[in-house]
Amino acid sequence: MFFSTFEKQLDGKRRLLIPQEFRTADNGADARIFCFPSIEADCLEAGGDHLLATYVEMIRGLPFGSKERSSLEWQVLGEQTRLAFDGGGRITLPEGLCAEADLGETVMIVGLGDRFQIWNRDKWAARRAEQRQAAKDGMAQLGALRLAAQLKVEGGGS
């Protein structure tokens, strides 16, 4: 799995060192990764063969010719770039992907379990603040729901 957040440098040739702990056979990213513009945010989505298999399974589960299937095929399969690691564990990002995510000299690599994202540092900071607030709000809502359920049980189910 992909965990943690790393600040990395993108050199003039668009080479990016992927953290060693991300390059494992366990996540299918020991020799290469695949990368495409994220569907959910202004960043790049990346992962190993296991993540690709998850997307392919999800796509195949949708009716052929449906709008949902077509859009996922277009975004995940059609926009995908397979990137092999060089001897130092770096990938070279295509210029188009760098432009799509507005990547500059310093990027953030964020592990999200079965995938990771590559962010422009400033956009990452804004997204991090949004996600932190959403997590706080979600935890407060979950706590309120649990309290309400507990009071219902203690009150005799009424």
Domains of the chain by residue range: 5-121
Write down the pLDDT at residue 157.
Answer: 61
| pLDDT value of position 66 | 97
pLDDT at residue 59 in the model? 97
Q: Which CATH class is domain 5-121?
A: alpha beta
Q: Tokens at residue 95, please?
A: 């210029």
Identity at 10, one-letter amino acid code: L
- Provide mean pLDDT across the span 75-95: 96
The pLDDT of residue 106 is above 80: yes
Over residues 4-14, the mean pLDDT reads 97
| pLDDT exceeds cutoff 60 at 3 | yes
Distance CA 93, CA 113 (A): 22
Mean pLDDT in the chain? 95
Q: Is the pLDDT of residue 158 over 80?
A: no
